[in-house]
Structure 1
Amino acid sequence: MDSSPSLWKRSTAEGIGTALLVFIGPGAAAFNGILAANNSQGTTLADIGVISLAFAIVVIAMIYTIGKISGCHINPAVTIGLAVIGQFPKREVLPYLIGQLVGAVIGAIGILVVLGSDGATIGNLGATTLSPSTGYLQGIVIEAMETFILMLVIMGMAVDHRAPKDFAGLIIGLTVGGIIMMTAGATGSSFNPARTFGPYLVGSFSGGNIPWNQFPIYVIGPVIGSSLAAFVYRWIASPNPLTAAASQNETTKA
């Protein structure tokens, strides 16, 4: 008898995980934005480090909390990347994506509840945007690079059956933090369409400055990057098969 959680429960777990990811990660970014504005200071590398640490902590926590239930993708790009190489059932992709997107919106609402209107009007709910020096195509490439790195680590640490699974959550979470430290200045370091969608949608109705014309960057780049990484890892790992139970492994985003 199959005792694994139902698709409804797994999708709900994805929603909860994504909500907490958005609440804590972009929430930390929004709070930093408020502090910087109140003190008339720009964002420093130390600020980026704190925000990166917030993302790393919540990703690690979610992997060890819901990884056993849903696989803890908490990132549509990860779900799609696994599906395109047959490591996740294609029929379950849409429910997972819905759970992640709804969760992201709830997480963004949580930021608004905690930080008030300043969270949107000043902190912009931690929404990701391109820097003035980053072009549109460049942004897509950067987001693809970020997600490629994340997905490659996920494949090696959480999907490949030879990996030491006890360390997967820690390594993946630290990878998320490291990526943000390096690339936050250029694109805001989303590499997760849901992470961008939640603050964009809620910010649009709460006084945020939301550049919806940039949203495709945070979808196209991550999907390309995750899919490419999945194919590349499968190729370099062959002929050793990847586990067929990828959907139950501890995987994630950002």
Structure 2
Amino acid sequence: METPSLFKRCFAEGIGTALLVLIGPGTAAFNGIITANNNESTTLADIGVISFAFAIIVMAMIYSIGRLTGCHINPAVTIALASTSHFSWKEVGPYLLAQCVGGTIGAFGIVTVLGMDGVVLGNLGATVLAPTTGYLQGIVIEAIAAFILMFVIMGVAVDSKAPKDWGGLVIGLTVGGIIMMTAGATGASFNPARTFGPYLVDSLLGGNINWIQFPVYVIGPIIGAIAAAVTYTYMTSSKKLPLSNEASQHEVGK
């Protein structure tokens, strides 16, 4: 199959990120509307539903555009792949721009579906640190979440020895699992574009966004994703033994 042009791949990345934000944060925003109208608190069951929505859309995008773009739909993933020579640095900028534009379009899509309640009550599913989560702690949590995701991506999608056809399912379920664990502390973004879109659109429409927290959702995921990609690459790298050592090993194995 011929590799699509950079423009077509970026276009697909934009669509993938837009749909990720529409379905994932959109579900979170809808849950926010429900809990606000009923004067209730978000429960673990609610987080489970939101996590499942993320898992479904991630799986769908991987199987839809993965063969075209690699389905990064996350700037941290793109940067991590480039840092380990699995992606061209000259294409990082266009991919990141496409992902951020896609995230913004997806956030506008939430407004289209949920109306201004999605902004006022649902906050467009924007991520926010819990009152008990410190700034540095938030960065660390986001880094851990991105590390887990990127480590799995390396193992089931990037590695040439990865099992075929299972990548989308495993990665999607991993995303869901991470959200179940970290949503209460940071909102579970581990994706700068996923946070950027709702932040920008919510701000433009008069929502309440604390932009001072935005670096948490950029610094943490990028550090975590790079660390995972480097770690996995180190674990799976091998040096060819000198001929004399290879001969010795062959003899021992007789």
Q: CA deviation at 1:207?
A: 2.4
Q: CA deviation at 1:240?
A: 8.3
What residue in structure 1 maps to residue 47 of structure 2?
48
The residue type equivalent to 2:17 in the other structure is T
What residue in structure 1 maps to residue 107 of structure 2?
108
1:34-56 superposed Cα distances (whole Å, 9 cap, x missing partner):
00011110000000000000000
What residue in structure 2 maps to residue 69 of structure 1?
68
Q: Percent identity?
A: 69
Cα pair 1:83 1:93 within 8 Å, conserved: yes
Q: Show structure 1 runs of 5+ residues with no match.
A: 242-254
Q: CA deviation at 1:3?
A: 2.1
What residue in structure 1 maps to residue 28 of structure 2?
29
Q: CA deviation at 1:4?
A: 1.0
Q: In the alignment, is residue 222 of structure 1 matched against residue 221 of structure 2?
A: yes
Q: CA deviation at 1:61?
A: 0.1
Question: SS state of the match for residue 165, structure 1?
Answer: coil
The residue type equivalent to 1:183 in the other structure is T
1:217-252 superposed Cα distances (whole Å, 9 cap, x missing partner):
0000000000000000001112189xxxxxxxxxxx
Question: SS state of the match for residue 134, structure 1?
Answer: coil
Q: CA deviation at 1:197?
A: 0.0
The count of corresponding residues between Structure 1 and Structure 2 is: 240
The residue type equivalent to 2:27 in the other structure is A
The residue type equivalent to 1:51 in the other structure is I
What is the TM-score with the length of structure 1 in the denominator? 0.93
Cα root mean square deviation, aligned: 1.1
Q: In the alignment, is residue 3 of structure 1 matched against residue 2 of structure 2?
A: yes
**Runs of 4 or more consecutive aligned structure 1 residues displaced over 4 Å after TM superposition:** none
Of stretches 171-180 and 2-11 in structure 1, the one that deviates more from structure 2 is 2-11
The residue type equivalent to 2:200 in the other structure is L
Give the structure, 1 or 2, with the largest relative contact order (CA under 8 Å, sep 6 or more). 1
What is the TM-score with the length of structure 2 in the denominator? 0.93
The aligned runs of 1:1-254 (5 Å cut-off) are 3-239=2-238
CA–CA distance in 2 between the matches of 1:47 and 1:135? 24
CA–CA distance in 1 between the matches of 2:120 and 2:238? 53
Q: CA deviation at 1:173?
A: 0.2
Cα pair 1:13 1:70 within 8 Å, conserved: yes
Question: SS state of the match for residue 31, structure 1?
Answer: helix
Q: CA deviation at 1:208?
A: 1.5
What residue in structure 2 maps to residue 249 of structure 1?
none
Cα pair 1:121 1:206 within 8 Å, conserved: no
CA–CA distance in 2 between the matches of 1:165 and 1:98? 30
The residue type equivalent to 1:170 in the other structure is L
CA–CA distance in 2 between the matches of 1:30 and 1:166? 32
